[in-house]
Amino acid sequence: MTAAGPRLEVLLSEAEVAARVETLAVQIAPALADDAVAICLLTGGLWFAADLTRALARLGRPVAFDALWLTSYGDAKVSGGRCEVRAGLQRPIAGRQALILDDVFDTGLSLSEAVRHVRQAGAAAVVTAVFARKPWPLPRAPMPDHVAWDAPASFLVGYGMDLGGAYRGLPYVAVVTDPESQGAGGSRASIAS
């Protein structure tokens, strides 16, 4: 990485990100239970979860909110292959519909662990939504129920996705075009959820 940071190429503008989130909200809203709880997977899912829950509220489908802090990347560029729960749910969800929200579906490890954790907590139904879906989930990883965007097989930053903790807050999605910034993981490397 150069002193000025990696070279980025914008793939989705801020307006395109917002439009995809609004479209996804329209798809999800009719299937939400009145007592649904949105569960944001921290840290990367925060931006998507905030935007999607506001879009759902504008459609007359406000949801309760909780978060689950999982990590399989830390600041690394490649998943360590196991998922750790750093902070669990703050409220009981037994008997309620859970809407799990994450920024990116990459290996599927975080989403799989979140679904397991939420079911174990007694959720009556589990629905999953991600902003971006990468083309290489692990075998047997549960596919997300709702996807805003099918992403390319590239190292992405912005809108929750990061490079060693940086660039999450970008309002757009960009590909890192500087191979030196991607590290040993190359284009397979991804974000820290």
Q: What is the pTM of this model?
A: 0.85
**Mean pLDDT of the 90-107 span:** 93
For residues 96 and 172, what is the distance between their CA atoms, to the nearest angstrom? Answer: 33
Tell me yes or no: is domain 14-149 CATH 3.40.50.2020: yes
- pLDDT above 60: residue 187: no
What does the pLDDT read at residue 3? 54
- pLDDT above 70: residue 133: yes
- Residue pair 159/47 in contact (Cβ under 8 Å)? The answer is yes
- pLDDT above 80: residue 146: yes
Cα separation values, 156 from 110, 146, 148, 186, 190, Å: 17, 20, 15, 11, 7
What does the pLDDT read at residue 1? 44
Q: Residue 157 contacts by C-beta under 8 Å, 6 or more apart in sequence?
A: 6, 8, 163, 166, 167, 168, 170, 173, 174, 175, 176, 191
What does the pLDDT read at residue 184? 34
Give me the residue spans of the domains in the chain: 14-149
